[in-house]
Amino acid sequence: MKVRSSHPEYMKFVTKWFNVLLPCIKPYLYENGGPIIMVQLENEYGSYTPCDKIYLKELYNLARLHLGDKILIFTTDGPVLGMLKCGSSDVRYFTTIDFGPTTATVPKIFEVLENFRPNQPWVNSEYYVGWLDVWGGIHHVTSPEWVVNALNHLIQYSKRVNVNMYMFHGGTNFGFWNGGARPESSITSYDYDAPISEAGDITRKYMLLRDLLFERKGIEPPELPKNITKISYGRVKMKLKSHLLKTEAPVTYSPSPLIMESLRQYNGYMIYSVPVKVPLNGSIFLEFFGISDIAHIFTGDQSGHYTFHGSLRYANKIFQSNNIHNIVNITIITENTGHINYGYGMYLDNKGITGPVMLNGKELRDWRMIPIKDPFTIGSTRKTDIVSLENMWPVPGRIYYGTFVIWMLADTFIHPDSFARGIISVNGHHIGRFDQTRGPQLRLYVPKTFLKLGENQITVVELQGFIKDNPNQVHVTFHDEMLWK
């Protein structure tokens, strides 16, 4: 099945989804007294190589079927002629473009749009007031003065110009929904250095934009509300609960490893295990002919004890270990770090082990696969279980839990002090991923709606290893502000 195309199997699911989604939107259209004045179909499709014109026509027809003939339906693409020809090939679409703060190239940008679709309003539907962050990268901060001055220049350039700011309010990639390109995926926070922060706070950028827009309107701005209250709930001790390898779920058997999607495991993790015919000692040399995105490699011995040997990331396909003692299986936990969300790569974005695996030059056969549906619910908190875990299970893959009591609800930020890289849940809400070793995000936003009066529970899955090694002092801390590296 080819995504973002007129492939019948793909369009079957698009149609099924639109049949549910679009009727929910219709009451909120402007013509029905609602706030929605335009509806966008697709996003920057001109950057996606297949350029399927039939697909765009089918999307348009579906939207009109459910939304009627009055609402304005539009596309968004970069200000490049080739992108516009692909992304807005159906003339029934209203064509818009997207670009960030600039002054020197504004005439050329709108010249491209005018040549492609003449005599329509000029719309920048994504005026970038900030930018997204990726793991291991910097935290992007865009000058408020630059954003405001460039916006003023854009508005003054022509009465035909219309602008929509992206993002005006920052957000959060809760759960496994961060996505991203390669080699690194987006962080959990989608604060975007927006005028209104991820936590709903007004920023200096907001104040300058407010002054500009109200001045141009010639009216006095209304009084602003105070920023939302945040609370530092303090330190919470974490205790060992279980391990990802203790997942209890149906096993799928196959001569060769199957991709995660074939087992309907579209996010998170999957366990692959393969027997070693004769117990091995000494060293192993593993060669992967396809793996995405990260492979955590363990070996198991006859007593059921597992040893962690290391991880492979993305393009690395060779793994060697010289510390092998009487192993009977090789077990791999694959990690999906987020699906590609821009460009052609998403068409080939399968996860897990995506090709043969060789051990010391011979292909490994007879695989067992277990999808990890909900890592936070694995295991119990009984003391006897925890003692056995400490003795048997390596640090990567461990699951910890903690409880804390509060008598006032407020937004907060969780700092996984003792941990390196993994995921966090609060009261069953998947807060998202963290990576303390690379940043730039060091704390995760927790809205007060995820908390409750009385006892609250935190669960942390550690995928790398402790920053602080003392197992008796493992903890997280709640703060009243965000922290960037």
- Residues 358 and 388 reside in one and the same domain: no
**Identity of the highest mean pLDDT range in 280-294, 337-351, 395-409:** 395-409
- Where helices occur in 302-382 by DSSP H, the ranges are none
Q: Which of 323, 341, 372 is the last residue of a domain?
A: 372
**pLDDT, tens digit (0-9, with 9 covering 90-100), for 248-273:** 999 999 999 999 999 999 999 999 99
Tell me the two tokens of residue 91. 């003339």
Residue in the block written with tokens 């989804």: 17
| Residues whose CB falls within 8 Å of the CB of residue 257, separated by 6 or more in sequence, listed in order | 272, 274, 352, 353, 355, 356, 357, 367, 369
Phi, psi of 195 (to 5 degrees): -55, -35
- pLDDT at 310 > cutoff 60: yes
CB of 85 closer than 8 Å to CB of 46: yes
What's the average model confidence in pLDDT over 193-201? Answer: 98
Q: How far from 387 is each of 25, 237, 239, CA to CA, in Å? A: 53, 17, 11
Tell me the two tokens of residue 332. 């791999």
447 domain-assigned: yes
- pTM of this structure: 0.94
Instruction: Give me the pLDDT at residue 160, please.
Output: 96
- Residues 125 and 213 reside in one and the same domain: yes
Q: Band the pLDDT of 280: cuts 50, 70, 90.
A: confident
Residue 44: active-site member: yes
- pLDDT at 384 > cutoff 60: no
CB of 134 closer than 8 Å to CB of 98: no
Residues pairing with 415 in the sheet:
477
Query: Helix, strand, or coil here: 245?
Result: helix
Provide the domain count of the chain: 3
Of all residues in the chain, the percent with pLDDT exceeding 90 is: 85
Residue 58: active-site member: no
Give the separation between CA 205 and CA 192, rounded to whole angstroms: 12
Neighbouring C-beta atoms of residue 230, cutoff 10 Å: 19
- pLDDT at 383 > cutoff 70: no
Instruction: Please pick, among 126, 198, 335, 462, the residue that the annotation labels catalytic.
Output: 126
| Residues whose CB falls within 8 Å of the CB of residue 331, separated by 6 or more in sequence, listed in order | 245, 271, 272, 273, 274, 297, 298, 299, 300, 306
CB of 302 closer than 8 Å to CB of 355: no
- Residues 62 and 129 reside in one and the same domain: yes
- Residues 438 and 321 reside in one and the same domain: no
**pLDDT, tens digit (0-9, with 9 covering 90-100), for 455-475:** 999 999 999 987 666 666 899
Of all residues in the chain, the percent with pLDDT exceeding 70 is: 96
CATH number for 428: 2.60.120.260
224 domain-assigned: no
Burial of 333 (0-12, 13-18, 19+ CB in 10 A): buried
Domain limits for position 426 = 234-242+376-479
**pLDDT, tens digit (0-9, with 9 covering 90-100), for 389-428:** 666 788 899 999 999 999 999 999 999 999 999 999 999 9
485 domain-assigned: no
Tell me the two tokens of residue 369. 């696969």
CB of 372 closer than 8 Å to CB of 249: yes
225 domain-assigned: no
**Identity of the highest mean pLDDT range in 313-322, 388-397, 423-432:** 423-432
Instruction: Give me the pLDDT at residue 468, please.
Output: 67
- Residues 408 and 293 reside in one and the same domain: no
Q: Which of 352, 372, 392 is the last residue of a domain?
A: 372
Q: How many CA atoms lie within 13 A of 436 on its CB side?
A: 20
- pLDDT at 304 > cutoff 90: no
Instruction: Please pick, among 44, 198, 335, 462, the residue that the annotation labels catalytic.
Output: 44
Q: Which of 328, 352, 372 is the last residue of a domain?
A: 372
226 domain-assigned: no
- Residues 359 and 463 reside in one and the same domain: no
